[in-house]
Amino acid sequence: MAISWFEEAKKFKSPVRVVTAILLRSRETQLAENRRLREELKQLNEQRERDAQQAKRQLQRMEELQRQCAELERQRDQALQSVNLPEDPPVATHGFRARLISLAVNLAKSVGFRGAVRVLELFFKWLGVDHKIPTRTTIRSWLQRLGIAELKQPLQPHEDLVVMLDHSNQIGTEKVLVALAVNASELPEPGTALTHEQVRVLEVKPGSSWKTEDMEQAYQELAEQHGVPRATLTDGAVELCEGAKCLETQRADTIRLRDFKHDAANVMKSLIGNDERFQEVNSQVGTTRSAIQQTELAHLTPPSAKPKARFMNLAATIRWMTLIVWLWKHPDAKAREGISDERMQAKLGWVQQYADDIAVWQECQEVVSASLTFINEQYLFRGASAALRTVIGDSLKHDKSKELAKRLIDFVHDSEQQLREGERLPMSTEILESSFGLYKQLERQHSKSGFTSLLA
């Protein structure tokens, strides 16, 4: 049977309105409690999410630290292990292996044979490597054998082969003939000079007689072994230049070129070398060097003049004279600190009276230097003389420098007439002169005692 709430309400002692109010308040209280609990649950969920994110970050950090710890342990273990040299394959029955032989030979080329041994000893000791080290005589033998093997390598025949030749002597009558080769088609791009890696040594031959007929024989042997070259390049020595004529009978288009630097030195000598005032300066320079090299003026000591090829190495002396003239005009210069005017006058005062001459010589040297750079980097080609004239410019002030420029340009013009259109050939033997220098560097002090067995 259904219950009537209206009938039941009549049984309440309190009025209906009071009961209704109580029930409404109870409902509101319950709703408020529900809202509070929901808000609290929301906050707890957000806190749980934050805690989960933090726990994830902490876990990643722990994993990173574990990786770092493992890497540090690996490095520690590696450091505690003995150092091992790189894998080095054996070479036939040699007691030393290929990489060490290569290292020793390259070191010797830079620091000499004894120096190479000392470097290897220091390096292996620093590494803590217990390894047998080759002696200087062993390294010397390796270098000689490598040189002989290089000379015996066949040269791929090329129609544009250019051979540079020159003699070098130390003491006595013996001279050594050296021939380098480069293919004209393999010259560096204009603006870049030849390097040692770009030339090939064809001949290293000592002898006590190098007359024209001896050179003819040498040229014939080179032609038989490597083919008749397109051009020979020499310093203008009669036996070198005339001897090359025999090649023209075997190849009609073979030409003979002369080194630009030697020609420039000859022109400088003809214009300046016979000048009495220049000869006076040369004498004074030698006297001054002896007079001040152990005094407070030692930093102003003139450079040592080379008795041979003086006019090929004149730039340093002219720079020194130009510096002294400048110091006289600038008494407050740092280089004159601690030097009284009286001492400056007594030891270097003579330079002032040649100031006008020095200006002429300096301009001549600038013409030579600019021309040498041009020939070394641009080479010889049809139109080279016109290009050289542009490089020198038309701002020269002195008659001697103008005459020098004219002769150099004429020399290049005459030389380029032998070339075909579009052809480019070297006209400088500086790479050959540099090779002689490398050999003397390898000889060290023995270069003053004559040629050694390194020529083998």
With a cut of 70, say whether residue 18 has pLDDT above it: yes
Provide the β-strand partners of residue 207: 175
Residue 315 lies in a domain: yes
Within 10 Å of residue 440's Cβ, how many Cβ atoms?
Answer: 14
Q: What is the average per-residue pLDDT within 190-195?
A: 92
- The predicted model gives 221-242 an average pLDDT of 90
pLDDT over 80 at 17, yes or no? no
411 and 304 fall within a common domain: yes
Domain-located, residue 130? yes
Q: Are 352 and 320 found together in one domain?
A: yes
Whether 305 and 353 map to the same domain: the answer is yes
Q: Within this chain, do residues 250 and 370 fall inside the same structural domain, yes or no?
A: no
Distance, in Å, from the CA atom of 175 to the CA atom of 210, rounded to the nearest integer, reads: 8
Instruction: Please name every residue paired with 168 in a beta bridge, in sequence order, or none if there are none.
Output: 176
For residue 201, pLDDT beyond 70 = yes
Instruction: Give the tens place of pLDDT for each residue, 128-137.
Output: 888 889 999 9
Cα angle 251, 261, 202; round to 5: 45
Query: Which of the four pLDDT bands, split at 50, 70 and 90, describes residue 396?
Result: very high
> 6 in a domain, yes or no?
no
| Residue 172: predicted pLDDT | 64
Token pair, residue 45, equals 């969920």
Residues 319 and 174 in one domain: no
Tell me, yes or no, whether 90 lies in a domain: no
Do 254 and 273 lie in one domain? The reply is no
Lowest mean pLDDT among 103-107, 143-147, 258-262, 449-453: 449-453
Which residues are registered as beta bridge partners of 425?
380
pLDDT at 303 over 70: yes
pLDDT at 126: 87
- Length of the chain as a residue count: 456
Per-residue model confidence (pLDDT) at position 422: 92
Structural domain contains residue 5: no
Give Cα 248 distance to the centre of its chain: 38
Q: Is residue 108 part of a domain?
A: yes
- The yes-or-no verdict on residue 113 having pLDDT over 80 is yes
Judge whether 181 and 163 are in contact, CB under 8 Å: yes
What is the per-residue pLDDT for 73? 86
Mean pLDDT of all residues in 89-103: 84
Mean pLDDT of the chain: 86
218 shares a domain with 159: yes
DSSP 294-342: TSTTGGGPPPPPPSSSGGGS-HHHHHHHHHHHHHHH-TTSGGGTT--HH
Paired sense of beta strands 380-381 and 255-258, if any: unpaired
Residue 375 has pLDDT above 60, yes or no: yes
Residue 379, in any domain of the structure: yes
Residue 135: domain span:
98-146
Q: Say whether both 209 and 305 belong to one domain.
A: no
Q: Per-residue pLDDT for 450 more than 60?
A: no
Confidence of residue 255 (pLDDT cuts 50, 70, 90): very high
* pLDDT at site 184: 92
Least confident of 268-277, 285-294, 432-441: 432-441
- Whether 50 has a pLDDT exceeding 80, the answer reads yes
- Confidence at 364, pLDDT banded by 50, 70, 90: very high
User: At residue 145, does pLDDT exceed 60?
Assistant: yes
For residue 328, give both structure tokens. 């006289």
Provide the number of structural domains found in the chain.
Answer: 3
Domain boundary among 120, 146, 172: 146
What's the whole-number mean pLDDT along residues 315-323? 89
Q: Is the pLDDT of residue 79 over 70?
A: no
Whether residue 307 is found in the same domain as residue 220: no
pLDDT reported for residue 87: 77
Q: Is the pLDDT of residue 16 over 70?
A: no
CATH number of the domain that 192 lies in? 3.30.420
Asked whether residue 33 is domain-assigned, the answer is no
Q: Are residues 103 and 178 in the same domain?
A: no
Among residues 329, 402, 322, 323, the alpha carbon closest in space to that of 358 is found at: 322
Shared domain check, 270 and 253: no
Residues 394 and 281 in one domain: yes
